Chains A and B, each alone.
Chain A
Amino acid sequence: MITLDPASPVPPYEQVRAQLADQINGRELVAGTRLPTVRRLASDLGLAINTVARAYRELETSGLVETRGRAGTFVSGSGVEQEARAAAHAYLERIRTLGLDAVDSVRLLQGLLDQKAPR
């Protein structure tokens, strides 16, 4: 579920975006799931249409959802892609816990990939 807290300092569009992104990355929303229309979600949450539209736009920019014209907005990717995304998400969380920065984490990953690459 998406919960909107009017008293929160986080902007509404970011609350919506972040919660949808978490649910997609956590596979609560699987690939192919149709999201509510912008108008419907805006009505349900009591927000302006442009607020929800911005959240959907940012999700689309980050590749989590795709808009298929009048058919609506869907969670993007195949099951494999979504599982890989979830694994990457978990990896990043773990790296942050260990205190490594982005450069180190990418270097670590690249080193592993180079080791396992077919010769």
Chain B
Amino acid sequence: MWRIVSGVVLLPNSLMYHGAMGANADELDGFTVTMVGLPLLTLGIGLVIAAPRLAKVLGREFAIRNLAYVDVEFVAQYDRETTRQIRRTVALALPLLLAILLTIDGGTGPKMMVFAAVAVLFTIESGLRLHRAGREFTPTPGRPVLARPRSVGITDYLSRTALCCYVSQALTASLLLAAVLSSIDQGGTGALISALILTLVAMLNPLQFHILVNRPQQAVDAAHLYFQDAWRADELRTMAMWLAIPTWLCAEEYVSTTDLSPVLAGALLVSGVVTIFSFFWDALQVLAGHLWFRKRLWPMLAPRQVLLPGDPIPTAGQQ
């Protein structure tokens, strides 16, 4: 869900930015920037204030979309985590969106650095969330606990499309670095630093995934474990968003403003398009109800079945 919300904020801004690129630079005066920046600022402040209420709405949406039951015991914790995430996201996104607007007239280097900064800040934000991973919804001690008898991996939570997004994002970052190095005199230091940052962030992804997937999951019953699986799958997909969009924007910016060899430019554009396409395709699949983690970790559940607290886990023969 966060991908949709953030896409609503980020993508129109990038389109606006690209539209502004075509405009005469003289027309982008302080008044124009203020007229665009003020609503953004108002929106950001509004989101921070309304975060608790928005968290409840998002919580209901999460439960419906993932066919998960969030027990009353964990609703407060869920709302608290979601509120925290909303406020952190706004606090990180808003200054960067304003920076994007303010660097419209700038060179390729500054623009790319702003996009790369998005990836860095949200990687840091993901890292802060990892710090609490596995402890968000712990049960009270002394109650029966449930555990999965087999080990899980990243492929149990992320679909092939989502994994393709990550792989193509890493490829795009690497190609961008190669392109910048091959035309270092054109892009300058800013482009080089941005490409290095995006490549490093892409290399950090597998480590973050490994940490998140291997964090413990204490659950009192099947419904609780299922809810935690849904939460974890959502976290992993959210990480993809903050890397896919800045990477694509950087690649597009560099290709459109630099004289590269056709092969390198083509590879960079194709890779960037695959990144964005797989990101949105995965989002659409999730919205359409194709839950990868449910298929991999809960194949014994009937279609549209919602596990309630205390429900036994059906075996394959009971479906």
Give residues in A with beta carbon < 8 Å to B: 1-6, 19-20, 23, 28-29, 33-37, 40-41, 43-46, 72
Q: Are A3 and B144 in contact (CB under 8 A)?
A: yes
**Assembly CA distance A40 to B219 (angstroms):** 13
Chain A nearest CB from B50 CB (Å) reads 36
Q: For the complex, is B159 an interface residue (Cβ under 8 Å from A)? A: no
Query: Can you name 9 A-B residue pairings with CB atoms under 8 Å?
Result: A1-B146, A1-B147, A5-B144, A28-B316, A36-B149, A36-B150, A43-B216, A43-B218, A46-B218
Q: Which residue of A lies closest to B221 (CB)?
A: A3
Name A44's contact: one of B142, B218, B313, B315 (CB within 8 Å): B218
**Assembly CA distance A70 to B46 (angstroms):** 51
Besides A3-B145, A4-B147, 8 new A-B residue pairs in contact (Cβ under 8 A), listed by A number:
A1-B313, A3-B146, A20-B149, A28-B315, A29-B149, A44-B218, A44-B219, A45-B145
Q: For the complex, is B303 an interface residue (Cβ under 8 Å from A)? A: no
Chain A nearest CB from B87 CB (Å) reads 29
Name A33's contact: one of B146, B150, B225 (CB within 8 Å): B150
Q: Are B151 and A2 in contact (CB under 8 A)?
A: no
Q: Are B222 and A1 in contact (CB under 8 A)?
A: yes
Q: Determine the interface band of chain B, counting residues with CB < 8 A from chain A.
A: 20 to 34
Q: Mark B282-319, 1 if CB is under 8 A from A, else 0.
A: 00000000000000000000000000000001011000
Give residues of chain B (246-295) contacting chain A, Cβ–Cβ below 8 Å.
none
Most buried by A among B141, B144, B147, B315: B147
Q: For the complex, is B143 an interface residue (Cβ under 8 Å from A)? A: yes
**Assembly CA distance A20 to B151 (angstroms):** 13
Q: For the complex, is B214 an interface residue (Cβ under 8 Å from A)? A: yes
Q: For the complex, is B217 an interface residue (Cβ under 8 Å from A)? A: yes
Q: For the complex, is B148 an interface residue (Cβ under 8 Å from A)? A: yes
Instruction: Evaluate whether A6 and B216 lie within 8 angstroms (CB atoms) in the complex, with A20-B149, A34-B151, A36-B149 already known.
Output: no
Q: Please, which residues of chain A bring their CB within 8 A of the CB of B214? A: 40
Chain B nearest CB from A76 CB (Å) reads 14
